[in-house]
Amino acid sequence: MTLELHSGEHVIFDGHPSWRGTLSFYVKGVLLAVIPPLIALVAGVSAAGAVAIFAAAVALVVLVGLLWRLTTTYTITNQRLTIRRGLLSRHLQQTRVERVQNVNVDQSLVDRLVRVGQVDFDTAGSDDADFAFRGVANPAAVVRAVDEAHREREAAARQAGVEDLPGGV
Protein backbone atom coordinates (compact mmCIF):
# COMPACT_ATOMS: atom_id res chain seq x y z
CA MET A 1 0.00 0.00 0.00
CA THR A 2 1.67 3.20 -1.14
CA LEU A 3 0.74 6.55 0.29
CA GLU A 4 -1.35 8.69 -2.04
CA LEU A 5 0.17 12.14 -2.13
CA HIS A 6 -1.93 15.30 -2.17
CA SER A 7 -1.37 18.12 -4.62
CA GLY A 8 1.95 19.82 -3.87
CA GLU A 9 2.95 17.09 -1.41
CA HIS A 10 6.28 15.27 -1.62
CA VAL A 11 8.04 12.67 0.49
CA ILE A 12 10.91 13.80 2.73
CA PHE A 13 11.42 10.53 4.62
CA ASP A 14 10.13 7.02 3.98
CA GLY A 15 11.30 3.91 5.79
CA HIS A 16 10.71 0.85 7.92
CA PRO A 17 11.91 -0.02 11.39
CA SER A 18 15.53 -1.14 11.22
CA TRP A 19 16.41 -4.81 11.54
CA ARG A 20 18.56 -3.66 14.48
CA GLY A 21 15.39 -2.25 16.05
CA THR A 22 13.97 -5.76 16.29
CA LEU A 23 17.02 -7.25 18.02
CA SER A 24 15.61 -6.82 21.54
CA PHE A 25 12.36 -8.48 20.36
CA TYR A 26 14.39 -11.39 18.99
CA VAL A 27 16.44 -11.78 22.17
CA LYS A 28 13.32 -11.77 24.36
CA GLY A 29 11.56 -14.12 21.97
CA VAL A 30 14.40 -16.64 21.91
CA LEU A 31 14.58 -16.56 25.72
CA LEU A 32 10.84 -17.21 25.92
CA ALA A 33 11.15 -19.92 23.25
CA VAL A 34 13.06 -22.00 25.82
CA ILE A 35 9.93 -22.40 27.98
CA PRO A 36 7.80 -24.67 25.70
CA PRO A 37 10.56 -27.26 25.19
CA LEU A 38 11.26 -27.32 28.93
CA ILE A 39 7.60 -27.96 29.61
CA ALA A 40 7.64 -30.65 26.93
CA LEU A 41 10.66 -32.32 28.53
CA VAL A 42 8.92 -32.35 31.93
CA ALA A 43 5.84 -33.84 30.23
CA GLY A 44 7.96 -36.69 28.89
CA VAL A 45 8.69 -35.58 25.32
CA SER A 46 12.05 -36.78 23.96
CA ALA A 47 15.05 -34.46 23.71
CA ALA A 48 14.72 -34.48 19.91
CA GLY A 49 11.09 -33.43 20.24
CA ALA A 50 12.04 -30.63 22.63
CA VAL A 51 14.70 -29.40 20.19
CA ALA A 52 12.11 -29.43 17.40
CA ILE A 53 9.70 -27.42 19.57
CA PHE A 54 12.46 -24.91 20.35
CA ALA A 55 13.38 -24.60 16.67
CA ALA A 56 9.73 -24.01 15.73
CA ALA A 57 9.33 -21.38 18.47
CA VAL A 58 12.48 -19.56 17.34
CA ALA A 59 11.31 -19.67 13.72
CA LEU A 60 7.98 -18.17 14.79
CA VAL A 61 9.73 -15.37 16.68
CA VAL A 62 11.91 -14.56 13.66
CA LEU A 63 8.90 -14.60 11.32
CA VAL A 64 6.83 -12.31 13.56
CA GLY A 65 9.72 -9.84 13.92
CA LEU A 66 10.37 -9.84 10.19
CA LEU A 67 6.69 -9.35 9.34
CA TRP A 68 6.37 -6.46 11.84
CA ARG A 69 9.40 -4.78 10.31
CA LEU A 70 8.37 -5.25 6.69
CA THR A 71 4.71 -4.33 7.19
CA THR A 72 5.38 -1.13 9.13
CA THR A 73 6.17 1.98 7.09
CA TYR A 74 6.97 5.45 8.38
CA THR A 75 6.53 8.39 6.01
CA ILE A 76 7.14 12.12 6.45
CA THR A 77 5.99 14.46 3.72
CA ASN A 78 5.94 18.24 3.62
CA GLN A 79 2.29 18.03 4.78
CA ARG A 80 1.90 15.02 7.11
CA LEU A 81 3.45 12.20 9.11
CA THR A 82 2.10 8.70 8.52
CA ILE A 83 2.47 5.29 10.13
CA ARG A 84 1.13 2.36 8.07
CA ARG A 85 0.95 -1.10 9.66
CA GLY A 86 -0.43 -4.48 8.76
CA LEU A 87 -0.32 -7.34 6.32
CA LEU A 88 -3.82 -8.78 6.25
CA SER A 89 -5.55 -5.90 7.98
CA ARG A 90 -4.31 -2.34 7.68
CA HIS A 91 -3.90 0.41 10.24
CA LEU A 92 -3.12 3.94 9.10
CA GLN A 93 -2.21 6.63 11.60
CA GLN A 94 -1.39 10.13 10.46
CA THR A 95 -1.10 13.70 11.64
CA ARG A 96 -0.54 16.96 9.83
CA VAL A 97 2.89 18.56 10.10
CA GLU A 98 1.47 21.72 11.66
CA ARG A 99 0.03 19.70 14.54
CA VAL A 100 3.45 18.41 15.61
CA GLN A 101 4.53 20.46 18.62
CA ASN A 102 7.43 18.46 20.05
CA VAL A 103 9.67 15.72 18.75
CA ASN A 104 11.41 13.51 21.32
CA VAL A 105 14.01 10.81 20.76
CA ASP A 106 14.30 7.93 23.22
CA GLN A 107 17.23 5.53 23.15
CA SER A 108 18.06 2.93 25.76
CA LEU A 109 21.67 1.87 26.24
CA VAL A 110 21.06 -1.11 23.95
CA ASP A 111 19.40 1.17 21.37
CA ARG A 112 22.43 3.45 21.40
CA LEU A 113 24.78 0.49 20.97
CA VAL A 114 22.87 -0.77 17.92
CA ARG A 115 22.20 2.79 16.68
CA VAL A 116 18.40 2.77 16.70
CA GLY A 117 15.79 4.72 18.60
CA GLN A 118 12.19 5.73 19.02
CA VAL A 119 10.99 9.12 17.83
CA ASP A 120 7.86 10.32 19.67
CA PHE A 121 5.71 13.11 18.28
CA ASP A 122 3.56 15.26 20.56
CA THR A 123 0.64 16.61 18.56
CA ALA A 124 -1.64 19.54 19.27
CA GLY A 125 -5.09 18.85 20.67
CA SER A 126 -4.67 15.09 20.82
CA ASP A 127 -4.94 12.84 23.83
CA ASP A 128 -3.92 9.70 21.96
CA ALA A 129 -0.27 10.57 22.36
CA ASP A 130 1.02 7.27 20.98
CA PHE A 131 2.38 8.56 17.69
CA ALA A 132 5.91 7.21 17.42
CA PHE A 133 8.34 5.84 14.89
CA ARG A 134 9.83 2.83 16.73
CA GLY A 135 13.12 1.12 15.95
CA VAL A 136 14.32 3.63 13.35
CA ALA A 137 17.95 3.34 12.29
CA ASN A 138 18.78 7.04 12.38
CA PRO A 139 16.47 8.91 14.76
CA ALA A 140 18.32 12.19 14.14
CA ALA A 141 17.47 11.94 10.41
CA VAL A 142 13.77 11.59 11.31
CA VAL A 143 13.98 14.70 13.51
CA ARG A 144 15.69 16.59 10.67
CA ALA A 145 12.98 15.45 8.24
CA VAL A 146 10.24 16.84 10.49
CA ASP A 147 12.19 20.08 10.85
CA GLU A 148 12.53 20.27 7.06
CA ALA A 149 8.78 19.70 6.66
CA HIS A 150 8.11 22.56 9.11
CA ARG A 151 10.52 24.88 7.29
CA GLU A 152 8.94 24.06 3.91
CA ARG A 153 5.50 24.76 5.34
CA GLU A 154 6.63 28.11 6.75
CA ALA A 155 8.29 29.08 3.45
CA ALA A 156 5.15 28.15 1.48
CA ALA A 157 3.04 30.23 3.86
CA ARG A 158 5.36 33.24 3.52
CA GLN A 159 5.27 32.89 -0.26
CA ALA A 160 1.48 32.76 -0.19
CA GLY A 161 1.41 35.84 2.06
CA VAL A 162 -0.05 34.11 5.11
CA GLU A 163 1.29 35.66 8.29
CA ASP A 164 0.09 33.30 10.99
CA LEU A 165 -0.61 29.64 10.30
CA PRO A 166 -3.07 27.69 12.43
CA GLY A 167 -1.44 25.15 14.70
CA GLY A 168 1.72 27.22 15.08
CA VAL A 169 5.09 26.08 13.89
pLDDT tens for the 169 residues of the chain, in order? 577 888 889 999 999 999 998 888 898 999 999 999 999 999 999 999 999 999 999 999 999 999 999 999 999 999 999 999 998 888 999 999 999 989 999 998 888 888 999 999 998 876 655 799 999 999 999 999 999 999 998 888 888 876 555 554 4
Burial group, residue 149, by CB count within 10 angstroms (0-12, 13-18, 19+): buried
Residue type, 32: L
Query: What phi and psi, each to the nearest 5 degrees, are found at residue 151?
Result: -65, -40
Question: Going from the N-terminus, what domains does the chain have, and what CATH number goes with each?
Answer: 9-160 (2.30.29)
Whether the full predicted model's pTM is greater than 0.85, yes or no, is: no
For the stretch 123-164, pLDDT in tens is 887 665 579 999 999 999 999 999 999 999 888 888 887 655
Output the CA–CA distances (angstroms, integers) from residue 148 to 6, 37, 68, 77, 137, in the order listed. Answer: 18, 51, 28, 9, 19
